[in-house]
């Protein structure tokens, strides 16, 4: 193959939107036997496109939108979510999950882990996690990045235990949000819509029994580049279409490439497509203007994340057979 570029991700957005909407209607009504859908919207591009497709599929009266901020959420995220809901003609329900996170000890567990490497850290500081090494072929390294009240930046290397504890504590956020989504789904007899795109779904960038849990995932086959293009096709507000992908999990602004992916999302989309279509690392290197060694390292990072996150995709493992249920699924 020669001339690899982002045109490989081009598609007929109108046809694909109609196909997804038809699939949503069939899945929800026939297979799930539900009356409508619940979508938690963050103001990001993925949940916005899922909400827009749901409204197109079912109408605004059958779509329940939730906005679920907490104390580390960027206020602009909720503002974009409200703008989207207004654009779609749906009155959203907002529920601040910070008190519940406080009660369950999520913030306390995270902060205690942070203070093992940065003892002076307290509620006045802001922090995020960063990861590096994936695009160089090195072992991924985990770093804490924090800003003190006087604006000074501090970085500390994290041992695996501290890193996992911070991630586990912040995963409370996604799991609590999903609990709230299913509360509303149960009371309305609706299905829950999951919002991962293909890159996130393939690479395991989700929390098991958190944002990874859903009844239907309408855009899990679309690369994030395609999701942005779909947003434009659906006529979503510019402020939503121009939102950059962040984790919106930590108090310091954080790009997804800082936290998880080896490269920015557009480059990762092309790398994932190229790997799946047998494109040599050298050809990818030319397209992304990186070295062949770096391109090969990106391929290996994709493969490594697939291996390490495979358990996230597994259904609960049974140690015996239940024919009456197995036949139905």
| Residue 195 labeled ligand binder | yes
pLDDT cut 70: percent of the chain above it: 94
Which stretch of DSSP H or E encloses residue 277? none
Residue 260: per-residue pLDDT: 72
Instruction: Give the pLDDT mean for 160-165.
Output: 94
Which pLDDT tens digit goes with each residue over 66-99? 999 999 999 999 999 999 999 999 999 999 999 9
Rounded Cα distance between 207 and 205, Å, is: 7
**What pTM does this model have?**
0.93
| Residue 246 labeled ligand binder | yes
Residue 249: per-residue pLDDT: 84
| Position 204 confidence tier, pLDDT thresholds 50, 70, 90 | very high
| Residue 43 labeled ligand binder | yes
Q: Does domain 6-103+164-311 have CATH number 3.20.20.140?
A: no
| Residue 67 labeled ligand binder | no
Contact residues for 25 (Cβ-Cβ < 8 A; gap 6+) = 57, 58
Q: Which of 76-90, 187-201, 261-275 has the lowest mean pLDDT?
A: 261-275
| Residue 132 labeled ligand binder | no
| Residue 200 labeled ligand binder | yes
| Residue 139 labeled ligand binder | no
- Residue boundaries of the structural domains of the chain: 6-103+164-311
CB-based contact 70:102 (threshold 8 Å): no
Which pLDDT tens digit goes with each residue over 279-299? 999 999 999 999 999 999 999
| Residue 173 labeled ligand binder | no
Which stretch of DSSP H or E encloses residue 46? helix 45-58
Residue 140 φ/ψ region, left for φ over 0, alpha for ψ in the -120 to 50 degree band, beta for the rest: beta
| Residue 283 labeled ligand binder | no
Residue 304: per-residue pLDDT: 92
- Top pLDDT among 233 and 265 is at 233
User: At residue 257, does pLDDT exceed 70?
Assistant: no
Instruction: Give the pLDDT mean for 320-327.
Output: 86
Packing angle of the helix pair 224-233, 45-58 (nearest 10 deg):
50
Instruction: Give the pLDDT mean for 287-316.
Output: 94
Residue 1: per-residue pLDDT: 43
Residue 133: per-residue pLDDT: 59
User: At residue 137, does pLDDT exceed 70?
Assistant: no
| Residue 29 labeled ligand binder | no
| Residue 120 labeled ligand binder | no
Which pLDDT tens digit goes with each residue over 11-64? 999 999 999 999 999 999 999 999 999 999 999 999 999 999 999 999 999 999
| Residue 258 labeled ligand binder | no
| Residue 208 labeled ligand binder | yes
């Amino acid at each position: 193959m020669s001339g690899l570029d982002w045109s490989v991700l081009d598609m007929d957005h109108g046809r694909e939107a109609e196909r997804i909407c038809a699939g949503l209607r069939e899945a929800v009504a026939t297979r799930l036997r539900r009356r409508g859908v619940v979508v938690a919207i963050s103001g990001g591009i993925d949940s916005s496109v899922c909400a827009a497709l749901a409204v197109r599929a079912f109408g605004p009266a059958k779509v329940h939108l939730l906005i679920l901020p907490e104390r580390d959420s960027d206020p602009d995220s909720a503002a974009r979510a409200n703008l989207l809901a207004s654009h779609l003609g749906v009155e959203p329900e907002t529920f601040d999950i910070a008190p519940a996170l406080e009660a369950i000890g999520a913030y306390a567990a995270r902060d205690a882990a942070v203070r093992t490497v940065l003892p002076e850290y307290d509620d006045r500081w802001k922090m995020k996690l960063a990861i590096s090494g994936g695009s160089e072929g090195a072992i991924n390294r985990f770093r804490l990045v924090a800003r003190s009240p006087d604006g000074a930046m501090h970085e500390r290397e994290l041992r695996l235990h501290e890193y996992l504890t911070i991630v586990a504590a912040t995963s409370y956020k996604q799991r609590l949000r999903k609990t709230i989504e299913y509360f509303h789904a149960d009371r309305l007899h609706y299905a829950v819509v999951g919002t991962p795109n293909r890159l996130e779904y393939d690479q395991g960038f989700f929390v098991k029994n958190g944002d990874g849990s859903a009844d239907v995932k309408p855009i899990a086959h679309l690369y994030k580049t395609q999701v942005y293009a779909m947003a434009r096709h659906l006529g979503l507000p510019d402020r939503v279409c121009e939102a950059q992908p962040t984790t919106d999990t930590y108090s310091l602004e954080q790009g997804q490439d800082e936290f998880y992916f080896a490269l920015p999302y557009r480059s990762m989309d092309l790398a994932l497509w190229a790997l799946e279509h047998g494109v040599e690392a050298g050809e990818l290197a030319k397209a992304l203007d990186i070295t062949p060694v770096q391109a090969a390292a990106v391929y290996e990072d994709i493969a490594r994340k697939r291996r390490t996150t495979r358990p996230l995709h597994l259904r609960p493992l049974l140690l015996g057979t239940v024919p009456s249920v197995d036949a139905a699924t």
